[in-house]
A and B are shown apart, each in its own frame.
Chain A
Amino acid sequence: MSTGFHVVVLGSLVPDLLQTLEPVQGPSGPALKNELMLPAVLDPWAAHALFEAAHVAAATPGSKVWLVSLGPKAKLQQLMMSIAQKVPFELVAVDGSASGFTDPVDVAEALAGAIEKIPSLDRSRLLLFGGCASASRDAGVTVQLVGERLGITDQFLAADELTVSAEGVLTVLERVEGGRYLVSEVAGPPCAIAWATGNLPEPPNNPQVGMMNMRTIMPALQKAPAIQFASQGTVFQSVELPKQERRTRIVRDVPLDEMAREIADWIKG
Chain B
Amino acid sequence: MTIETILYLAHAEDDGSLGRSALEALTGAKELHRQLAGATFTVGLIGGDVAAAATAVSGCGADKSYAISGPDFAVSRYASDAAALEAICRASGATVVVAPATSRFNRVMPGVAQRLGGRIDTHVGGFSVTGAELRIQRGYYRQRMIATLTRAARPWFLTLDGGVFSTWEGAAAAMQFESLGVAVGDELHRTRVVGYQAPQANAQTIRPDAKLLFVAGVGWTKKQSDGQVHLDDAAKTIMGFVDKAGASLGSSKSLVDQSSEGHNVFSFMSHLNQVGQTGSTPRHPKGLSTCCHGEEPHVVGWRFIGERRAINLDTNCGWAQGKADVLYVADAFELVRKVTELL
Binding site for B on A (CB under 8 A): 14-15, 17-18, 21, 23, 30, 32, 44-45, 100-101, 103-105, 108, 135-142, 144-145, 147-149, 153-158, 160, 171, 173-187, 191, 196-197, 199-201, 232-242, 244-253, 256-257, 259-261, 263-264, 266-268
Taking a contact as CB atoms under 8 Å apart, the answer to whether B145 and A240 are in contact is yes
Interface residues of B in 74-115 (CB under 8 A from A): 76-79, 82, 102-104, 106-111, 113-115
Given A144-B114, A244-B323, A246-B325: A153 and B190 interface contact (C-beta under 8 Å): yes
Taking a contact as CB atoms under 8 Å apart, the answer to whether B277 and A108 are in contact is no
Interface residues of B in 172-196 (CB under 8 A from A): 187-188, 190-196
A137 and B309 CA atoms in complex are apart in Å by 29
Taking a contact as CB atoms under 8 Å apart, the answer to whether A185 and B191 are in contact is yes
A154 neighbours in B (Cβ, 8 Å): 78-79, 190-191
A249 neighbours in B (Cβ, 8 Å): 325-327
Given A148-B115, A250-B329, A261-B342: A240 and B122 interface contact (C-beta under 8 Å): no
B132 touches A (CB below 8 Å): no
Choose from B197, B308, B322 the contact partner of A183 (Cβ within 8 Å): B197
B307 neighbours in A (Cβ, 8 Å): 266
B150 touches A (CB below 8 Å): yes
24 chain-A/chain-B pairs, Cβ below 8 angstroms: A17-B278, A45-B278, A101-B140, A105-B114, A135-B278, A138-B142, A145-B114, A154-B190, A175-B103, A178-B207, A179-B206, A179-B273, A184-B194, A185-B192, A185-B194, A235-B149, A236-B148, A240-B146, A248-B320, A248-B327, A250-B329, A259-B335, A267-B212, A267-B288
Taking a contact as CB atoms under 8 Å apart, the answer to whether B328 and A259 are in contact is yes
Taking a contact as CB atoms under 8 Å apart, the answer to whether A153 and B326 are in contact is no
Given A237-B150, A246-B323, A259-B335: A156 and B309 interface contact (C-beta under 8 Å): no
B122 neighbours in A (Cβ, 8 Å): 139-141
- Chain B contact residues (Cβ within 8 angstroms of A): what range? 35 or more
Given A154-B79, A185-B192, A251-B329: A138 and B111 interface contact (C-beta under 8 Å): no
Binding site for A on B (CB under 8 A): 19, 76-79, 82, 102-104, 106-111, 113-115, 119-123, 135, 139-153, 187-188, 190-199, 201, 204-208, 212, 245, 260-262, 271-274, 277-278, 286, 288, 295, 303, 307-309, 315, 320-330, 334-335, 338-339, 341-343
Given A23-B145, A242-B145: A144 and B107 interface contact (C-beta under 8 Å): yes
Given A135-B278, A242-B146: A157 and B205 interface contact (C-beta under 8 Å): no
Taking a contact as CB atoms under 8 Å apart, the answer to whether B120 and A104 are in contact is yes
A198 and B274 CA atoms in complex are apart in Å by 13
Majority secondary structure, A binding face:
mixed
A188 to chain B, nearest CB (A): 8
A44 neighbours in B (Cβ, 8 Å): 277-278
Total A-B pairs, Cβ < 8 A: 265
Chain A residue nearest to B325 (CB atoms) is A246
Apart from A141-B110, A245-B322, A256-B334, list 15 A-B contacts with CB within 8 A. Answer: A14-B141, A142-B110, A149-B114, A158-B103, A176-B103, A176-B104, A177-B19, A181-B197, A183-B193, A235-B149, A242-B139, A242-B303, A250-B329, A251-B326, A263-B328
Taking a contact as CB atoms under 8 Å apart, the answer to whether A182 and B193 are in contact is yes
A191 and B320 CA atoms in complex are apart in Å by 43
Choose from B147, B190, B208 the contact partner of A178 (Cβ within 8 Å): B208
Taking a contact as CB atoms under 8 Å apart, the answer to whether A148 and B111 are in contact is yes
A264 and B337 CA atoms in complex are apart in Å by 11
A32 and B145 CA atoms in complex are apart in Å by 10
Taking a contact as CB atoms under 8 Å apart, the answer to whether B322 and A140 are in contact is no
A145 neighbours in B (Cβ, 8 Å): 110-111, 113-114
Closest 3 CB pairs of A and B: A233-B152, A179-B206, A260-B338
Taking a contact as CB atoms under 8 Å apart, the answer to whether A156 and B107 are in contact is yes
Given A21-B141, A160-B271, A236-B149: A187 and B114 interface contact (C-beta under 8 Å): no
Choose from A18, A141, A183, A260 the contact partner of B196 (Cβ within 8 Å): A183
A138 and B198 CA atoms in complex are apart in Å by 26
A233 and B119 CA atoms in complex are apart in Å by 11
Taking a contact as CB atoms under 8 Å apart, the answer to whether B286 and A266 are in contact is yes
Chain A residue nearest to B274 (CB atoms) is A197
Taking a contact as CB atoms under 8 Å apart, the answer to whether B141 and A153 are in contact is no
B198 neighbours in A (Cβ, 8 Å): 179-181
B302 to chain A, nearest CB (A): 8
Taking a contact as CB atoms under 8 Å apart, the answer to whether A144 and B145 are in contact is no
A173 and B341 CA atoms in complex are apart in Å by 38
A238 and B128 CA atoms in complex are apart in Å by 13
Choose from A179, A240, A252 the contact partner of B205 (Cβ within 8 Å): A179
Chain A residue nearest to B120 (CB atoms) is A141
Chain B residue nearest to A185 (CB atoms) is B192
B278 to chain A, nearest CB (A): 5
A234 neighbours in B (Cβ, 8 Å): 119, 149-153
A248 neighbours in B (Cβ, 8 Å): 320-327
